[in-house]
C-alpha cells in the first residue's frame, strides 16, 4: 500500500488516544493465560504482533474470547494448564512473541515448534536459546538453534545466574519466564553501565500478585512463585506509537496536539527527553498507574529543533524510536550524532541502514556507522518515494517525513503498520488540518 503526501500542507491539531502498548499487551496475554481465573484486557492494541501472541496461547489450550475490538477475556486455568499444540506456532513478524514464548515453552512438558516470517527468521535467536540450553532446555533450529524455526522439547530446567551480553528486555523476559518453571533460583544481570532494559515483565509479575526480587541491574526469580490471580488490565497507550505524532507536531508548523493515556514507563521515555533536549515543546502531565505502569498526558507544539548527541543508556530507553528521532534530526538545525545503537541492525529491518538510505533519498546528509548515524539537519526533506522495507516503524517514520516534504512525497509498503498500529493512518487523518 501507498501513502501520498497531501497536496496542501498540513498541521496536526487535536486530541488522540493511542492503541495499547505493544510490549505490555504481549505480557498481559502471557500472564492472564498463566493465571488462575478470568482476566479482562482492555485497550488491547489489535496489532498483528500482539494477535500472534494471543493466537499462540489459544493453540496452547487457553480460552480467549474477543469482547470487542479492544477488549479480550482470558480464562486462565493456572500455570500448569498449557497443552501441546498440534500445529506449528506462528510468531509472524514478532520478535517479542518468538523470544518470550521460547523461554516459556522450554519449561513445559510437551513438544512445540515456533516459527516466524522471513524477517523474523533472519533475526538472532541464539541470544535466547544459548542461556536456555544452559538451563537444560532442549532446543534445535536452523544454525544449531540460532535462527527460527525452533523446535522445543520442553522439560525440566535448572535455574541459572546469567549475565546478559546485550541489554534486551526480550532476552531478560525469556529467561525469567523459563525460570518460573525451573528448579532453584534464576538471576538475570544487565550489562555493566547499560542502565537497564524496559521492565514490563517485572511490573506484570507484581501486578499479578507475585513480585520478583529486583536490585539495580538484577532480576531474581525463585520458584515456587505464588500462583498468578486473574486481573482486570487496562493497557496504557503506546509511547512508541505516540512518538510519530510527537515528532510530526514538532516539525509541522502550526501544530498543537494532546495525547492522552500514554504509558510513561521510565524505560521507555527516552524519546521525550531526547526531543525536549533538541528544543521540542513537549509537556508531560503524569496522571497515575494502570496495571503497574505509570501513564499520563502529553502535549506537543511546533518547535524550532536543534540537533543533539545521543548515546549510552538513553539509547536503550528509546530503542524503537531511533527511526522517528532521525526524522526529527533531519528537520532540526545542525548535526545530530547517534551511537551505541548497533541493536537496530537486528530489528524488523536493519534500521540504521534503511534510515540512512531513505534519508539520503530526501537529500538529507547522513553517514552510517556500525552502531549509529550522523545526520546533518536543516535543509528539510526533498519530496521522495520512500520504501518501508516491510518495517512498520520505518513506514510510520517516513510518513512523517513525507508530511514535512509536502506534495510529491510518498511511502511504499505502508501495510506494515498493521504490525503495531493498524489504525495509524486513520488517526493521522483525524489530527491533520489544513495549514
Q: How far apart are CA 35 and CA 230, in angstroms?
A: 5
Q: Which range in 148-156, 165-173, 277-285, 400-408 contacts ligand S3P by CB under 6 A?
A: 165-173
Cα radius of gyration (the chain): 21
Q: Which range in 112-120, 167-175, 204-212, 295-303 contacts ligand S3P by CB under 6 A?
A: 167-175
Enumerate the active-site residues: 320
The least distance separating ligand S3P from the CB of residue 168, rounded to whole angstroms, comes to: 3
Question: Residue 388, interface with ligand S3P (CB under 6 A)?
Answer: no
Q: How far apart are CA 402 and CA 388, in angstroms?
A: 12
Q: How far apart are CA 242 and CA 252, in angstroms?
A: 15
CA distances from 311 to 194, 247, 387 (A): 11, 19, 27
Q: Which range in 12-20, 169-177, 221-229, 322-330 contacts ligand S3P by CB under 6 A?
A: 169-177
Encoded one letter per residue, x for contact with ligand S3P by CB under 6 A and - for no contact, window 257-296 reads ----------------------------------------
The least distance separating ligand S3P from the CB of residue 393, rounded to whole angstroms, comes to: 9
Nearer to ligand S3P, 98 or 248 (CB): 98
The 3-state DSSP class for residue 287 equals strand
Buried b (16+ CB within 10 A) or exposed e, 196-209: bbbbbbbbbbebbe
- Range 309-368, binding ligand S3P (CB under 6 A): 319-320, 343
Nearer to ligand S3P, 23 or 302 (CB): 23
Question: Residue 170, interface with ligand S3P (CB under 6 A)?
Answer: yes
Selection from 294, 380, 284, 404 nearest residue 330 by Cα: 380
Selection from 219, 214, 116 nearest residue 176 by Cα: 219
Nearer to ligand S3P, 105 or 169 (CB): 169
Question: Residue 50, interface with ligand S3P (CB under 6 A)?
Answer: no
Binder of ligand S3P out of 96, 97, 234, 402 (CB under 6 A): 96
| Summary count for the chain: helices (H), strands (E) | 15, 24
* Cis amide bond preceding 224, omega within 30: yes
Binder of ligand S3P out of 5, 23, 97, 269 (CB under 6 A): 23
User: Applying CB under 6 A, which residues contact ligand S3P?
Assistant: 23, 26, 96, 168-170, 173, 197-198, 319-320, 343
Amino acid at each position: 500500500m501507498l501513502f501520498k503526501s497531501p497536496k496542501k500542507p498540513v498541521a496536526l491539531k487535536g486530541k488522540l488516544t493511542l492503541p495499547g502498548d505493544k510490549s505490555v499487551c504481549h505480557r498481559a496475554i502471557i500472564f492472564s493465560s498463566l493465571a488462575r481465573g478470568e482476566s479482562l484486557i482492555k485497550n488491547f492494541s489489535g496489532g498483528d504482533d500482539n494477535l500472534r501472541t494471543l493466537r499462540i496461547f489459544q493453540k496452547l489450550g487457553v480460552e480467549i474470547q474477543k469482547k470487542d475490538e479492544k477488549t479480550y477475556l482470558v480464562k486462565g486455568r493456572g500455570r500448569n494448564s498449557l497443552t501441546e499444540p498440534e500445529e506449528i506456532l506462528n510468531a509472524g513478524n514478532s520478535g517479542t512473541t518468538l523470544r518470550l514464548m521460547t523461554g516459556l515453552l522450554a519449561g513445559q512438558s510437551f513438544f512445540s515448534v515456533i516459527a516466524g516470517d522471513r524477517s523474523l527468521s533472519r533475526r538472532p535467536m541464539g541470544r535466547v536459546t544459548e542461556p536456555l540450553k544452559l538451563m537444560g532446555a532442549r532446543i534445535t533450529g536452523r544454525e544449531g538453534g540460532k535462527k527460527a524455526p525452533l523446535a522445543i522439547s520442553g522439560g525440566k530446567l535448572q535455574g541459572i545466574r546469567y549475565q546478559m551480553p546485550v541489554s534486551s528486555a526480550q532476552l531478560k523476559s525469556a529467561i525469567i519466564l523459563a525460570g518460573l518453571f525451573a528448579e532453584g533460583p534464576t538471576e538475570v544481570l544487565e550489562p555493566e553501565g547499560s542502565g537497564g532494559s524496559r521492565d514490563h515483565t517485572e511490573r506484570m509479575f507484581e501486578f499479578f500478585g507475585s513480585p520478583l526480587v529486583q536490585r539495580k541491574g538484577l532480576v531474581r526469580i525463585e520458584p515456587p512463585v505464588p500462583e498468578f490471580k486473574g486481573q482486570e488490565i487496562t493497557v496504557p497507550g503506546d509511547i512508541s506509537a505516540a512518538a510519530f505524532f510527537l515528532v510530526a507536531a514538532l516539525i509541522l508548523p502550526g501544530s498543537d496536539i494532546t495525547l492522552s493515556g500514554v504509558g510513561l514507563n521510565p524505560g521507555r521515555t527516552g524519546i521525550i527527553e531526547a526531543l525536549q533536549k533538541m528544543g521540542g515543546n513537549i509537556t508531560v502531565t503524569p496522571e497515575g498507574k494502570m496495571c503497574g505502569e505509570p501513564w499520563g498526558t502529553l502535549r506537543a507544539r511546533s518547535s524550532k529543533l536543534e540537533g543533539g548527541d545521543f548515546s549510552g543508556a538513553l539509547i536503550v530507553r528509546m530503542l524503537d524510536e531511533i527511526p522517528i528521532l532521525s526524522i526529527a534530526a533531519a528537520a532540526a538545525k545542525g548535526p545530530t550524532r547517534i551511537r551505541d545503537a548497533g541493536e537496530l541492525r537486528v530489528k524488523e529491518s536493519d534500521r540504521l541502514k534503511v534510515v540512512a538510505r531513505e534519508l539520503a533519498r530526501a537529500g538529507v546528509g547522513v553517514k552510517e556507522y556500525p552502531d549509529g548515524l550522523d545526520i546533518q539537519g536543516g535543509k528539510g526533506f526533498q519530496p521522495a518515494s520512500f520504501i518501508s522495507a516491510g518495517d512498520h516503524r520505518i513506514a510510520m517514520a517516513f510518513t512523517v517525513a513525507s508530511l514535512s516534504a509536502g506534495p510529491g512525497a510518498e511511502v511504499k509498503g505502508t501495510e506494515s503498520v498493521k504490525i503495531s498500529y493498524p489504525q495509524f493512518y486513520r488517526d493521522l487523518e483525524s489530527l491533520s488540518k489544513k495549514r
